[in-house]
Amino acid sequence: MVKYLAKRIFYLVLTLFIVTTITFFLMKLMPGTPLTNQAKLSPTEQQLILQQYGLDKPVWQQYLSYLANAVHGNFGTSFQFSDQPVSYLISSRIGPSLLLGFQAMVIGVLLGIVLGAFGAIRKNTWVDTTTTIISILGISIPSFVLAILLQYFFGLKLRAFPIAGWSGFMYTILPTIALAAMPLAESARFVRTEMVDVLNSDYIELARAKGLGKLGIIYHHALRNSLIPLITIIGPLAVNIMTGSLVVENIFAIPGIGEQFVNSITTNDYPTIMGLTIVYCFMLCVVLLITDIVYGLVDPRIRITGKRD
Amino acid sequence: MKLSSVVKLSTVGLSSALLLAACGNSSQESKSKTIQWQESANLPTLDVSKATDHVSAETLSNSNEGLLISAKDSKVAPGVAESYKVSKDGKTYTFNLRHSKWSNGKPVTAKDFVYGWQRSVAPKTASQYSYLFDHVKNATEISKNKAPVSSLGVKADGDYKLVVTLSKPQSYFKYLVTMTPFFPQSESAVKKFGSAYGTNSSNMIYNGPFKVTGWTGTNDSWTLTRNKEYWNNKATKIDGVKFNVQKTPSTALNEYQAGKLDAIKLVGAQQVGQYKNSKEFYNAKQASTFYLELNQQKDPAFRNVNIRKALSLAINRQQFTKNTLGDGSLPAVGYVSPGLASRNGKDFTKDAYVKSGVDYNMAEAKKLWAKGLKEVGKKGLNISLLADDTAAGKNTTEYLQTQFEQLPGLKVTNQNLPFKSRLSRSQNGQFDIVATGWNGDFPDPITFLTLFTSDNSYNNGKWKNAEYDKFVNNAEGQDANNTDKRWNDMVQAEKTLMNDQGIIPIYHQAQPYAINTRVQGVQFYPTGSGLDFRNASVK
Amino acid sequence: MADNANKLPKDAFEPLSDGSHLDNERIAAPSLTFLKDSWRRLKKNKAAMISMYILIFFIVLAFGSQLIPSVRNIATHPNLNNLPPRIPGIDIPGFNGTLVQGGQRVNAYTGDAANVHYWLGSDYLGRDLLARTLSGTRLSLIIAMVATFFDLTIGVTYGIVSGWKGGRVDTFMQRIIEIMLSVPNLVVMILLLLLFKPGIGSIVLVLAFTGWINMARLVRAQTLELKNQEFVLAARSLGQKPWKIAFKHLLPNLSSVIIVNTMLTIPNAIFFEAFLSFIGIGVPAPAASLGTLISDGQKSFQYLPYQMWIPAIVLSLLMIAFNILGDGLRDAFDPRTRE
């Protein structure tokens, strides 16, 4: 276990290193500097500004110092906010994003499990059809369309929820729904397929033959065994939520990192883009690591030795 | 955790969420004396030396105050300076300061101005607005690191008298001192906060009618709260203004209609159309012109005046502003924007009007185009049209593309980029035609006209005209103290530019707002800070 | 002993007369290839078939309409902008040229526009929204197809090579995939898009860069299984060249995995293009994609809802149809569902 963990963490670090390196050199290829008013500055002033951002040194030196700083969680200074460290920018805005992402994941997956399970148990009835329709819609309607519609109808027309902003639980509901739709649909589909398989398997037949109650069978045997594989799609779902958060946060004016990421792109705030890229990778790596470990713990068929397949 | 407990927990969580959702239906409209104002971008800094964008200008001009403040009709009103005198040669300004206080209770003195100005000019501050000081004695030398900061032509004579020495007369200097880089700064505060100065609302001190509160440096809202130490605090009628960043215009509109915001910027023809005839509508005029620059260095064909004129004549500015933009922007009447400056009651643009420079005549355009192509010996042109990736930028390129392609042999491809990328491309000459805008810094035509002298760094198209240079130089130099001659120089400069079609003006931008009728007395200025809550009131 | 055999009477064995015995071994069902069988099962799935017809309809319409000059070159009519849908002879609110203004339904087709019919309305430059939507659909489909092409070439090749070679090569190639998987693909796309000139080309490139991973993983897993089966072993021992084995033996057996996964790649590609265009780094104007149309329409959704509804519905329909067809294909290819 320790060996496996060490290996995984080594790969995590390697991944982050590669990502950092690639991002750094990509950003160096892009036009644009922190100078917004280049034309009117004297060469001395331009030099000084570049110096403040550490952009006057040769690229390899910039790279090394960026790496060294990044290890300490220092991603440089934002171009957009003057004198504001990128790390502060991220840390002060990551809260809402994490909260929304977590809420969307939990609600999406739990509701998905319920829907998928019902669909499987009542296979080929109207229940099954309804859940299938819901999950197909959830996968097919892009989150940005859903967010706009939710805001318009539930925010403006019905006044049931705040239209946008971030001050309290009420404000999280619409964006959470917009973000949760995809995980909900995906996990409902997944659980349904798994559970149909499980319900057809021999040990369920055996349990039935032993005279166990229907609910008991579903709850103790079918559901459990269908849920274990669900852990493997948590990673992809997290990617999904991250993607969605870029527009959903923008539409609902949530002060999170997704909104900031889009904002940094349109303002050419390269240090922030780089910092956020690394943070996104880190979060995804951690989610993948955790799901792998949990999977190894709950599935007796998989022994953690560092080898899969 | 056992699976059963997960299921139980989630059931409880979900049902309570739904319950709460059902209860939260009571949205109450705010009747408070705080105005809820939409801002379309984040606040980047509160450091007055480093502020360059409109958001920080709008906040800082209400939270801090310079010697003078902007007033209606391109006038200035006393700010920290009760009065001022200009010497005969126009080179020495003496300001008499009133006894006023910083938000921390310390007095605002002439030394704070000296320190603030020196800090704005000092190269190590790297203020991107330091060029505004170029008429102040030694400022240019200081910014090039060739003179010590202390040699700047601003001196404190006691605590409440400030003497400014200019290197040459500048009739519009009074407008400059209303701008943020000219605000006073307390040396002790700058030293105390160090590199964190101005990076959040508590690392800054204020001498204006409001203090900034609730800004963490990165969040999406901040508040202007009444500053009890302000010298004219009794005139302030509101408790404050809360700025809410809302980047999506449709969301902002939804929030406005729900009563969550008191004022929003209207974007696009639909939003404007809906409010155009309402009492809530306010069209804030801006000293702003959007124009095309033709890159004469990259495409020699643009050196031909007939080709430049043909392109200009192919644009139906009336139709574009009315139907396509539809947001209250005006068709261009020239390069300098209308309503900026006037003499004897006559607007500058009337005096300097050149019809052919902003007219629409497709037949004439085609004729000149054919003639121009013949002169440069070409069958056609393949050009790219660069503009911002904003809604208005996209409208512009798409509209111009259809108009230009009616000229035989002209093929246009569009390129819409984020503002900073667009800027760096235009400054590096990586474009054929670029649509760009200029907002006047102060209410004097010279803020526009200096841009197109031969060696100006904003002259991206590299249009050169010796006569134009002469007129602008005279207005800035030998005629600076003679109002009539100076005016005439500027009129001639504009006429020269338009007759030669050095640039192609398209429209003058406006900023339409929807403002709840409970809010009264907010002042909008076409130049500089733009927004003033000093006289605002709430019903 | 040996002699005994000769002593069997002549009539000990009797030749069978009519060959009717062959019937006992006869396969009653018609002989079907794998693909034929799958097709037969797909045909029974009504939802999937409807989806397929919808898709064919969209594809024909989107590409066929390009033959009409007014669709290929969409003209702008700044005087006829923002007109709501009006279809001649239909008087349903929403399609009769009226729109709600200040709480009342008014006819928007006045003045210059009195005799014009925009079936799905016009946009802010007076461009026909029907033509724009068709072009947008075509663009989305083209992007999807090109992305699929890369998915097939890169993904399948990568998967086969990785699975076939095994050992160190496989480990190394899988590490690369693992690293790529731990970077959110949207982030990769955005970084690359910042670098390239915005346009259809770069979007396709960016999709190609990230889209093939899933395919590669599935193909590899399948290849690992196949490579130890007898027919491959036989081909190998007969000295067949590896690339020939790949083409003749592996690919046909991988076809179901590939087809099913392709059907899931397509909606993904469409979605990502729309997403990138929506946040403003997708196809540049004046080219229309469904994403840019939705993004434009969203700005005036309150007043001119049709400008967003139409592209949004088309986009969602495309996604739904591809997803359902994909599901249907998966079921059809899955031997477990065989009756």
Looking up residue A191, the CATH number of its domain turns out to be: 1.10.3720.10
List, as one string, the DSSP characters of B488-502: HHHHHHHHHHHHTTS
Confidence of residue B21 (pLDDT cuts 50, 70, 90): very low
Give the lowest-confidence range in A14-18, A32-36, B470-474, C190-194.
A32-36
Distance from C-alpha of C304 to C-alpha of B269, rounded to nearest angstrom: 11
List % helix, strand, coil for chain B (3-state, nearest 5).
35, 20, 40
Q: Bigger pLDDT: C157 or A80?
A: C157
Residue A37 lies in a domain: no
B186 has pLDDT over 90: yes
Q: Report in angstroms the alpha-carbon separations of C19 from C11, C15, C46.
A: 19, 10, 43
Q: If you count residue pairs, one on B and one on C, with CB atoms under 8 Å apart, how many are there? A: 65
B12 has pLDDT over 50: no
Distance from CA of A14 to the nearest CA of B (A): 31
Residue A149 lies in a domain: yes
B481 has pLDDT over 80: yes
B373 has pLDDT over 90: yes
**In B246-395, at which residue ranges do the beta strands (DSSP E only) sit?**
263-265, 281-285, 288-294, 330-331, 342-343, 346-347, 381-388
Distance from CA of B382 to the nearest CA of C (A): 17
Nearest to B446 by CA among B335, B344, B346: B335
Distance from C-alpha of C129 to C-alpha of C248, rounded to nearest angstrom: 48
Residues pairing with B224 in the sheet: B212, B241
CB within 8 Å: A144 and C315: no
To the nearest whole number, what is the mean pLDDT of chain B? 87
Q: Is the pTM of this model over 0.90?
A: no
Instruction: For chain C, report the end-to-end CA distance as a whole number of angstroms.
Output: 53
Per-residue pLDDT tens for B203-237?
999 999 999 999 998 888 999 999 999 999 999 99
Neighbouring C-beta atoms of residue C102, cutoff 10 Å:
8
Residue A259 lies in a domain: yes
Distance from C-alpha of A11 to C-alpha of B429, rounded to nearest angstrom: 45
Distance from C-alpha of A165 to C-alpha of B223, rounded to nearest angstrom: 15
Which pLDDT score, from 0 to 100, does residue C30 have?
A: 64
Per-residue pLDDT tens for A207-231?
888 877 777 777 777 787 778 878 8
Residues of C engaging B, defined by a Cβ cutoff of 8 Å? 75-76, 78-79, 81-82, 102, 124-126, 198, 280, 284-286, 298-304
Phi-psi region of B28 (alpha: psi -120 to 50; beta: other; left: phi over 0): beta
Residues pairing with B504 in the sheet: B292
Residues sharing a CB contact under 8 Å with residue B402, sequence separation 6 or more, in sequence order = C75, C76, C125
CB within 8 Å: B254 and C302: yes
Residue range of the domain that includes A137: 89-269+283-298
Q: Report in angstroms the alpha-carbon separations of A296 from A292, B161, C175.
A: 6, 77, 19
A309 has pLDDT over 60: no
Name every chain B residue with its beta carbon within 8 A of the beta carbon of C301. Answer: 250
A192 has pLDDT over 90: no
To the nearest whole number, what is the mean pLDDT of chain A? 84
Residue A275 lies in a domain: no
Per-residue pLDDT tens for B257-292?
888 899 999 988 878 888 888 999 999 888 899 999
H/E stretch holding C279 reads none
B16 has pLDDT over 70: no
Which pLDDT score, from 0 to 100, does residue A165 have?
A: 83
Residue A70 lies in a domain: no
Distance from CA of B418 to the nearest CA of A (A): 5
pLDDT per position in chain C (339 positions), as tens? 555 656 777 777 777 666 666 666 666 666 667 677 778 888 888 888 899 999 999 999 888 888 887 777 777 777 777 778 887 777 777 777 777 766 677 777 777 777 777 878 888 777 888 888 998 899 888 888 888 888 888 888 898 888 888 888 888 888 888 888 878 877 777 777 777 766 788 888 888 777 888 888 888 888 888 888 888 888 888 888 878 887 777 887 787 788 878 877 888 888 888 888 887 777 776 778 888 888 888 888 878 888 889 899 999 999 889 888 888 888 887 665 544
Which pLDDT score, from 0 to 100, does residue C103 have?
A: 67
Per-residue pLDDT tens for B59-86?
999 999 999 998 888 889 999 999 999 9
Domain count, chain A: 1
Which pLDDT score, from 0 to 100, does residue B3 have?
A: 41
Residue A255 lies in a domain: yes
Out of B52, B140, B216, closest to residue A92 by CB: B216
Residue A79 lies in a domain: no
Residues sharing a CB contact under 8 Å with residue C167, sequence separation 6 or more, in sequence order = none
Which pLDDT score, from 0 to 100, does residue C28 have?
A: 64
B139 has pLDDT over 60: yes
Distance from C-alpha of B111 to C-alpha of C131, rounded to nearest angstrom: 67
Name every chain C residue with its beta carbon within 8 A of the beta carbon of A11. Answer: 175, 178-179
Q: Which alpha helices (DSSP H) does chain A contain, by range?
A: 2-28, 43-52, 59-71, 86-121, 126-140, 143-150, 170-199, 202-209, 214-216, 224-227, 234-251, 257-266, 270-298
Chain C within 8 Å of B187 (Cβ-Cβ)? Answer: no
Per-residue pLDDT tens for A144-154?
899 999 988 88
Contact yes or no for C61/C141 (Cβ under 8 A): no
Token pair 């148990």 is found at A121
Chain A within 8 Å of C334 (Cβ-Cβ)? Answer: no
Residue A276 lies in a domain: no
Distance from CA of B437 to the nearest CA of C (A): 20
Q: Bigger pLDDT: A141 or C3?
A: A141
Write the single-letter amino acid at B12: V
- Tell me, what DSSP letter sits at residue C74? P
